Amino acid sequence: MWRNMTRAPALALLGSLLAAAATASSSGSQILPVVEAAAEKRRKGILAGTWVNELGSKMVLNPPNEAGQFSGSYLTAVSAAEKRIQASPLFGVQHDPKEQEQPTFGFAVKWTFSDSTAAFVGQRFVDASGKESLETMWLLREEAKSPEDDWKATRIGRNVFTRVK
């Protein structure tokens, strides 16, 4: 049923369900605020939270400031460097979640355990069932020993993140 609905009726139905749940919840249940907060997050295109990609890498994005700048941390599950992996800081920008339900964003990761830097760009999507994903592409630059090695110093790829928190 959800799959065939346009967004407005789906949101209206969600609102009705929440209102009905509010009426039914005379016992002071803690479930409703959690459900409402999750629905609000989905509506507003908020990126802040904990995300995991198909490699098993995990990142935490902090809420953005007024200018859309945010920080976070990235724990990669894989590495091209033969070093012990450590969580690394990230810094990014995003479009206003109050205006864009599916905002584009970008962030850079300075790997603390290797000489490389990664840049991700992407967009947040939410499907008809409310499942959020971050569709991203990345460039990973390692330190070339000389300009002659420049041609092999940048990798490119794609990651899809889903929300875990």
Q: What is the contact surface with ligand BTN in residues (CB under 6 A)?
A: 53, 55, 57, 76, 78-81, 111, 114, 116, 118, 138, 140, 157, 159
* Least CB distance to ligand BTN at residue 116 (A): 4
Place of tokens 């990126």: 47
Tokens of 20: 């009905």
* Cα first-last separation, the chain: 26
What tokens were used for 109? 């990761």
CB of 85 to ligand BTN, least distance (A): 7
CB of 41 to ligand BTN, least distance (A): 23
Q: At its nearest, how many Å lie between ligand BTN and the CB of residue 107?
A: 11
Alpha helices in 45-85 (DSSP H): none
Q: Specify the residue, 79 or 100, whose C-beta has the smaller distance to ligand BTN.
A: 79
Amino acid at 110: K
H-only helix segments in 25-122: 31-44
Residue 58, both tokens: 């995990």
Query: What letter represents residue 21's amino acid?
Result: A
d(CA 97, CA 71): 16
Q: Which amino acid is at 123?
A: Q
Which is nearer to ligand BTN, 17 or 80 (by Cβ)?
A: 80
Closest by CA position to 134, among listed 148, 144, 120, 146: 120
Q: Which is nearer to ligand BTN, 52 or 97 (CB)?
A: 52
- Closest approach, Cβ 50 to ligand BTN, in A, equals 14
Structure tokens at 6: 């346009």
* Residue number, 3 or 145, with CB nearest to ligand BTN: 145
Nearer to ligand BTN among residue 42 and residue 59 (C-beta)? 59
